[in-house]
Amino acid sequence: MKKWMLLLAATLLLALSLTGCGSKSSQTLNVYNWGEYISDGSEGSFDTIREFESWYEETYGEKITVNYTTFASNEDMYNKISSGAVSYDVIIPSDYMIARMANEGLLQPLNFENIPNYQYIDDNFKGLYYDPDDQYTVPYAYGIVGVIYDANVVDEADTGSWDLLWNDAYADRIVQFNNSRDAFGTAMYKLGLDVNTTDKADWDKAYDALLAQRPLVYSYVMDEIFNMMESGEASIGAYYAGDYFTMRDAQSDNVDLQFYYPDPTNFYIDAMCIPTCAEHKDLAEIFINYMLSEEPAVANAEYTSYASPNSLVYNSVAYQDDMGADAIAILYPELGDFAQRYNTLAYRNLDPDLLDYLNTLWENVKIN
């Protein structure tokens, strides 16, 4: 009996070993990112995901599949992750949402031994409020919110401030952010209010401003702004600086998109993180490290037109030449003490009670 069991075990072992011959194991990495936020191979660009899959197989001798999906807002991403119904290995939220997710235990500390390319992240982007001990994040991109307008429609004399988004001369030509934090931010910057105030009376003032703006708004948008501004369907919108260049490059012949920074305005940083629901943490850290290497980092910065905190990017002469002097001037303005300005103007995580209050106000804006 014992001899028969040994023979059976040997036979099973041989069968298993033969099954593995000539094949490579495959893993799946789930990445969740903003829309239009990675070089994807379109129009001859570097295909970041496919190149990573090829690089990984060549380096580790195993196949990998990246399941890459996108979200339209931090709030959409948060709702999906916090529901516990999904599993993502790498996510790329914004600063204030990172602080919230870290506080709620939704992020894992990173093992930076697996991310040696972190050395290329500029020190100005370390130790900031949303991750003061640099435990959870690797900065991916950063920028400043500005106003995009069609110079063929908008009088130059009306530009320069947040007031343009409330100018009734352009009723039904204005688009507004379709997320509560950015939309309220535009109103609070316009009114000179602290965007991180805990005073509900100040949020009420911003709410009143958004209600006053409501009849002028053509649509509340996120990624939809691209087609609307490029085609001339809309003529005014606040959006992230890097996206201006994407719109300008694709604008119709009858559209002349221009850009400016109102003062004050929002500074933001998006960073790569690993949520607690991740099933492949080591693999996620390999992916993050790859994203910091020069070729994909430069390709992603060029494709998205967002500013990069990676020294391999902003020190690249080829990158500077490809982007052009006007783009570099907008993306990398002289900021003086970056940390001071960032910590003053960036959105902070709000406490749950205030978040609920803000979201209620926002829903009322949308239904009025």
* Residue 28 to residue 237: CA distance in whole angstroms: 38
User: Residues of 261-297 as b/e, b for ≥16 C-beta within 10 angstroms?
Assistant: ebebbbbbbbbbbbbebbebbebbbbbbbbbbebebb
Residue 7 domain-assigned? no
Structural domains of the chain, count? 2
Q: What confidence score (pLDDT) does residue 4 get?
A: 40
The answer to whether residue 275 scores a pLDDT higher than 90 is: yes
In a domain, 3, yes or no: no
Please classify residue 72 by burial: count the beta carbons closer than 10 Å to its beta carbon, then call 0-12 exposed, 13-18 middle and 19+ buried. Answer: middle
Q: Is residue 9 part of a domain?
A: no
- CA 100 to centroid of chain Cα atoms: 16
pTM: 0.83
Report how far residue 289's alpha carbon sits from residue 274's, in angstroms, rounded to the nearest whole number: 13
Site of tokens 């303005």 = 333
Could you tell me what percentage of the chain is helix, strand and coil, using 3-state DSSP and rounding each to the nearest 5?
50, 20, 30
pLDDT value at residue 12: 39
Identify whether residues 227 and 297 lie together within a single domain: no
> Is 275 domain-assigned?
yes
- CB of 10 within 8 A of CB of 18? no
Q: In which domain, by residue range, is 213 found?
A: 144-267+359-367
Q: What is the pLDDT of residues 297-312, one digit of tens each?
A: 999 999 999 999 999 9
User: How far is residue 115's CA from residue 288's CA, in Å, rounded to a whole number?
Assistant: 7
Could you tell me if residue 353 is inside a domain? no
CA-CA distance, 333 to 178, in Å (whole number)? 27
Q: Based on the domain organization, do 212 and 79 belong to the same domain?
A: no
Q: Are residues 202 and 241 in the same domain?
A: yes
- Tell me the C-alpha distance between 332 and 305, whole Å: 11
Q: Are residues 237 and 363 in the same domain?
A: yes
In terms of Cα–Cα distance, which of 328, 37, 365 is closest to 187? Answer: 365
Please check whether residues 171 and 124 belong to one and the same domain.
no
Q: What is the pLDDT of residue 25?
A: 60
Residue 74 lies in a domain: yes
178 and 256 together in one domain: yes
Q: What is the pLDDT of the chain when averaged over all its residues?
A: 92
Flag whether pLDDT at 340 surpasses 90.
no
Whether 278 maps to a domain, the answer reads yes
Say whether both 231 and 363 belong to one domain.
yes
Same domain, 275 and 174: no
Helices (H), the chain: 2-20, 48-60, 74-82, 95-103, 180-191, 200-213, 225-231, 241-250, 281-292, 294-304, 311-314, 317-323, 325-331, 338-345, 352-367
CATH assignment at residue 80: 3.40.190.10
**Coil vs helix vs strand at 319:** helix
For residue 1, being part of any structural domain is answered with no
Report the relative pairing of strands 174-177 and 236-240 from DSSP bridges: parallel
Question: Is residue 329 over pLDDT 90?
Answer: yes
**One domain for residues 192 and 49:** no
For 349, the token pair is 């995580």
Residue 337 banded pLDDT, cuts 50, 70, 90: confident
Assess whether 134 and 277 both reside in one domain: yes
Domain match, 158 and 229 both: yes
Q: Which residue type sits at 14? A: L
Do 149 and 103 share a structural domain? no
